[in-house]
Amino acid sequence: MELSADYLREKLQRDLEAEHVEVEDTTPGRCATSFRVLVVSAKFEGKPLLHRHRLVNASLAEELPHIHAFEQKTLTPDQWAREQQK
């Protein structure tokens, strides 16, 4: 497995049936050990933040041990639409 922003984006999109995923490699030199993600999924509807993050962590359970820093933002489609209007 080779970690990359594209790999993580595709995996999150598939596993969480996400309508929008952004993944940024925040590692100096872009060596794929630190990432910031934004995931928009209907699977987050009615779930508290901690449960949403657990869903993301479960999706990336195999990859997370190889990642040194991981920042995530999880939104429902309605929350994402409101953010886009700002």
Instruction: Give residue-wise pLDDT tens across range 40-75.
Output: 999 999 999 999 999 999 999 999 999 999 999 999
> What's the pTM value of the predicted model, to 2 decimals?
0.93
| Domain assignment of residue 85, yes or no | no
Q: Does residue 30 surpass a pLDDT of 70? A: no
Q: At what angle do helices 49-59 and 5-15 cross, to 10 degrees?
A: 120
| Domain assignment of residue 73, yes or no | yes
| Domain assignment of residue 20, yes or no | yes
Which CATH number fits the domain that encloses residue 53? 3.30.300.90
| Domains held by the chain: number | 1
CA 43, CA 28: separation in Å to the nearest integer? 32
What spatial distance separates the first Cα and last Cα of the chain, rounded to whole Å? Answer: 38
Strand order in the sheet with 34-40: 20-25, 34-40, 69-75
